Amino acid sequence: MYWLTNSLKNLYRSRRRYIPLAVMYFILVCGAAAGVYTFIRMNTATEAILREYAGVCEVGVSKSMADIYEETPPVTKDQLLSLGGSYGTDEAKISKYTFCTADVSAEYKAKAEIGADGESIDINSPVFVFGYEPSLTYLYSSELELGEGELFKAPGECVISKNENNTSPDMVSWNRLSLGDTVSLAVGDDRVDYKIVGIIAENKDEDSKTNRRMIYTPLESAELFDKYLTKDLSLPSSSTLEPELFTPEASAGTMINLGYSAVAFLESPDLLFDINDRIIDSIPGFNIQLSPMHGDFAALTKLTETLASSSVLFIIAFALIILIVTLITTFRLISERKYEIAVLRSVGMPKLRLVICYLIENLAFVWGITIAAAAFSIIPARPAVGKVLDTIKQMVAPEIFTAISGFGGKVWFYSSVSVFLAMTAAAALTLIFTAVSILRFRPLEILIRRD
Amino acid sequence: MKLTLNDVYYRYKSNLPYVLNGVSGEFESGNLYAVTGESGCGKTTLMSIIGNLDRPEKGTISIDGADIKTINEDTYRSKYVAMIFQSYNLLYNYTAVDNIILMLNISGYKGDCKERAGELLNEVGITPEKQRRVVTELSGGEQQRVAIARAVASESKIILADEPTGSLDSKNSEIIMEIFSEIRGRYNTCIIIVTHSAEIASKCDKVMRMSEGKLSYSETCK
């Protein structure tokens, strides 16, 4: 016990020697630890968000939306079935996607009743109806950025999108719709009424100019059109799909498309890109839309990759700093305290005990500063983390971000492991260096002034 | 206890002449020895060889008939022989009492080290207030007294003192010699002092002279 406390006391006794080094080391470790903290924290958050994205990424396969708007079917039914076949057979087995195409060749007609006086307008162009599973609504809320009203809650309620910039006759009529109005859709022999409870903010993107007649409603309300899907889909390969692949998410993503298009919902973002490449090869002339349901998936992926590689660099830098400073401290400790070592050897201090004492002193210094600096580094790291998290927040739906932002357990795990490994390596090298230095040490020349 | 040097040879490098050129001699407990000689005659080298800071090239050094080569180096330095240097060689960032406590721990003292350190420092005239000072805040004479207390703390039967009064004035030199004399009597210690000073040598029980690497009894021996 005496030797332990004496070694620690030596830190205080040699404080003038240690303080400048401690300050330098503290700053270095603080910077490195802040970097590690920030990057790992960010990386963990984005990775978790990407995992959440799995299953809700969408790939749309269609001719351009302009073609749909012009009501010139871009593909024949046979072609679309062929596309469905492509999904349903080859790709389905490989990619495990959960739902594929929809082709409703029925006549369509949207009739909107406006106001209490029952004024009616006819919309003679495609209207897209999206049915959402209520429990998954949060996943879609980034798209449903409401300008007025609220999100639909009950069957028969809907949110519509408008675009004042679009001057086509149908769109001008559509833009007259407001909260409380009713939109009636007729498909085949069926008619469905939707009460408007929310209106989506306008001009979100360029594409909205041609694609604003959209109705978002609970899945239950949209499912009324399912029979058209099942009737007309006629996927020759659907029987080959595994039943369990039809997950609730798949149902939630069922797109009732009163135009011509195909949509697939995938379980894995990675598979999404894989399928995309294959479709491009197999169906020339199709417009492939990669549409992650929320935020900029590609940017987030890139950010994650950057953060991951940066984290590794910072961890390596962190470890190197610990190693280098430990060795410098040890070297200084041995070289500047040769006299002290000589004295201790001359009075019979065993070499091994001397090695242990200097090792304790050195490691107490290095580890003490490291732990203190690592803990302190959170202070400068927090605003940096906050800034990057804000960036990520803009890329994803707020609900996802909130769910993910508390996910930080791995940060401390990785940080602890990296610090532990660096310290262990530093301890091992220090032990070797200290032992070799002291074991080879001869006190005679230092202590004896020969006459 | 008897320390015996038998035909000891030593040189710093193989291409240099011998500094110790067949040194023989005997040192016994309860005596205060002075080793004198001209500068460069090998007095300090003799001390360092006896103190086992290095090994002789030829010859033997034995304690009560046991060759010191057979004794563990650290045990020998901490329990058989204690060294006092002209430049004190204390741990300068330690307090006086901490220097003594360290030595007591090295030599395996079983009692209360702090209390014993205080006693030893009191014996050499270091007051309790000064005992708590870092040694660099003490005078040269006081530092040398701390060094003596450290040597006594090891309970070694042989104390080697290399020019212990070389850096001190005559008053402090006198005090140091009185302490040596008292220690020799109280602990029955063999104290060997290397000195240039005839006055210091005159206060010793026996005076030996180093010349051309050999040791001989001086005619001035008491």
**Nearest-CB residue to A348 (from B74, B89, B90):** B74
As beta bridge partners, residue B144 has none
Q: How confident is the model at residue A264 (pLDDT cuts 50, 70, 90)?
A: very low
User: B54 — contact with chain A (CB < 8 Å)?
Assistant: yes
Which residues of A are less than 8 Å from B101 in CB distance?
2
Q: Look at residues B158, B153, B155, B129 and name the one whose alpha carbon lies nearest to residue B142.
A: B129
Which residues of B are less than 8 Å from A449 in CB distance?
44, 85-87
Q: Look at residues A296, A220, A213, A289 and name the one whose alpha carbon lies nearest to residue A252.
A: A220
pLDDT in tens, B73-132: 888 888 888 888 888 888 888 999 999 999 999 888 888 999 999 999 998 888 999 999
Average the pLDDT over A1-14 and give the result: 82
Which residues of A are less than 8 Å from B100 in CB distance?
none
Q: How many CA atoms lie within 13 A of A176 on its CB side?
A: 15
> Is pTM beyond 0.90 here?
no
Q: Look at residues B141, B165, B140, B143 and name the one whose alpha carbon lies nearest to residue B95.
A: B143
Nearest CA in chain A to B55: A444
Q: Kindly tell me the sign of the dihedral angle through the C-alpha atoms of A17, A23, A26, A29.
A: negative
Q: Which of residues 73-112 of B touch A (CB under 8 A)?
A: 74-79, 82-83, 85-87, 89-91, 93-94, 98, 101-103, 105-107
The verdict on a CB contact (< 8 Å) between B103 and A347 is yes
**Shortest Cα distance from B107 to chain A (angstroms)?**
8
Q: How confident is the model at residue A284 (pLDDT cuts 50, 70, 90)?
A: very low
Question: What pLDDT is recorded for position B134?
Answer: 92
Helix (H) or strand (E) holding A122: strand A119-123
Question: What pLDDT is recorded for position B9?
Answer: 93
The verdict on a CB contact (< 8 Å) between A351 and B74 is yes
CA distance B51 to A373: 46
Which residues of B are less than 8 Å from A338 in CB distance?
none
**Nearest-CB residue to A348 (from B54, B78, B163):** B78
Which residues of B are less than 8 Å from A337 in CB distance?
none
Average the pLDDT over A189-211 and give the result: 67
Q: Look at residues A288, A292, A221, A287 and name the one whose alpha carbon lies nearest to residue A256.
A: A221
pLDDT in tens, A94-128: 222 222 223 222 233 455 656 556 666 666 555 66
**Shortest Cα distance from B199 to chain A (angstroms)?**
19
Mutate to test the interface with B, among A1, A448, A449 (most CBs of B within 10 A): A448
Q: Are B207 and B34 in contact (CB under 8 A)?
A: yes
Question: What pLDDT is recorded for position A413?
Answer: 61
ipTM: 0.86
Structure tokens at A34: 């802040």
CB neighbours of residue A13 within 10 Å:
19
Please spell the DSSP secondary structure of A274-303, one letter per residue. HHHHHHHHHSTT-EEEEEESSS-HHHHHHH
Full pLDDT tens readout for chain B, 222 residues:
889 999 999 988 888 888 888 889 889 888 899 998 888 888 888 888 888 888 898 899 998 888 988 988 888 888 888 888 888 888 888 999 999 999 999 888 888 999 999 999 998 888 999 999 999 999 888 898 898 889 888 888 899 988 888 777 888 888 888 888 888 888 888 999 998 888 888 888 889 888 888 888 765 544
CA distance B98 to A303: 58
